[in-house]
Structure 1
């Protein structure tokens, strides 16, 4: 049954997700709206590209915390609505809150509904729902990034590794988590359509996160 508490939590989750960290940091410290440069997205990757490592790391951490915090609102409100922690209803409630936060990141009310691609916020949500699977995805991301130097390709493959790890590595009994993982794949394909096109044409930009600037 939908209660005023669960609705309030969903609204709070959306507002958490809507915090446009890339836009606010860019405007406050650099006088730049990152959406007007690079890929035009208000996310960590474009912030790295446009503003550099310090701003990019700050945006990435904040965006991860957005998804993590929103999903964990279930611990404050969900227990009274869904029952015991880790029950199917509780996990489903976590997923609903996390997805709402991701929608907030994609369409932030605080930034004219022009947000990022949601990868960091998605990761924060995965971190809250299934910590081991999140670490698995991070490992896949880093390996692909070190080999290919493509952040977009690393994000896509890491995203696809989540449902595969849930099914074949961790053998999760919760169908909703598996279904959510499949939805992540669809969302990633939609939000990374232009990146995929550039990858196929060989025109996607490469990055080297570990490269030091030379004087």
Structure 2
């Protein structure tokens, strides 16, 4: 049992480190020589990269951040396959019961890593793209449905944050409709609330009518005062 628990702990740590990899920060630093945390919303995510560098780098960072989530969940599945092949899973462990809970633990670690990166002094992004990758790896139907909600809202409103928030709200509903395990549904609720919490500044701007649309620059309070 000790070996099994150690393996589970190691996979969770790996997932956190994967989520922590600062793709947006590195992209902006390399291409523009600035710290993305000091411009726009201060987020290291794809939306702020889009505002800072444009569509190409924004899409590139979006894809890599999504891949981090996919790899994190894949590591959880790989653990079970490896442990089973090496007879490391104790007889008392019900794989069908354990696996969904380990998967959401790994997913949660990746989300936390993206928003609280150990490489950036525990700052980061809002975990939307990484969450999408996690959903695609957990259940591709839920992932695609969430992406559809996001894309539809952004196409209509041209506001990325609104698409992210409504996508986060849609995930638990999709999980229930597709009869996913209880662990996944609870993860969807908790993860959705966390993503929405990370967007609290965006929500304030949405309510005030000042949230920028695609192609517009985010005007900070300091810039407004100096205008």
Q: Name which structure has the greater RCO, CA cutoff 8 Å, separation 6+.
A: 2
Distance 2:209 2:33 in 1: 32
| Residue number in structure 2 paired with 1:213 | none
Distance 2:150 2:20 in 1: 25
Q: Secondary structure at the match of 1:50?
A: helix
Distance 2:94 2:72 in 1: 19
| Preserved CA contact (<8 Å) 2:108 2:191 | no
| Pair 1:181 & 2:183 matched | no
Aligned residues: 205
| Residue number in structure 1 paired with 2:124 | 115
Instruction: From 199, 205, 209, give the equivalent of 1:202.
Output: 209
Q: Secondary structure at the match of 1:99?
A: helix
1:128 and 1:88, CA in 2 relative to 1: closer, same or farther beyond 3 A? farther
Scaled by the length of structure 2, the TM-score of the pair is 0.86
Scaled by the length of structure 1, the TM-score of the pair is 0.90
Which 4+ stretches in 1 moved above 3 angstroms? 81-84
| Preserved CA contact (<8 Å) 2:16 2:109 | yes
Deviations 1:44-75 (A, max 9, x none): 00000011112111111110011110111012
Larger Rg belongs to: 2
Runs of at least 5 residues in structure 1 that lack an aligned partner in the other structure: 210-215
Instruction: From 13, 36, 39, give the equivalent of 1:37.
Output: 39
Distance 2:51 2:116 in 1: 21
Runs of at least 5 residues in structure 2 that lack an aligned partner in the other structure: 84-88, 217-227
| Residue number in structure 2 paired with 1:145 | 154
Give the RMSD, CA atoms, in angstroms. Answer: 1.6
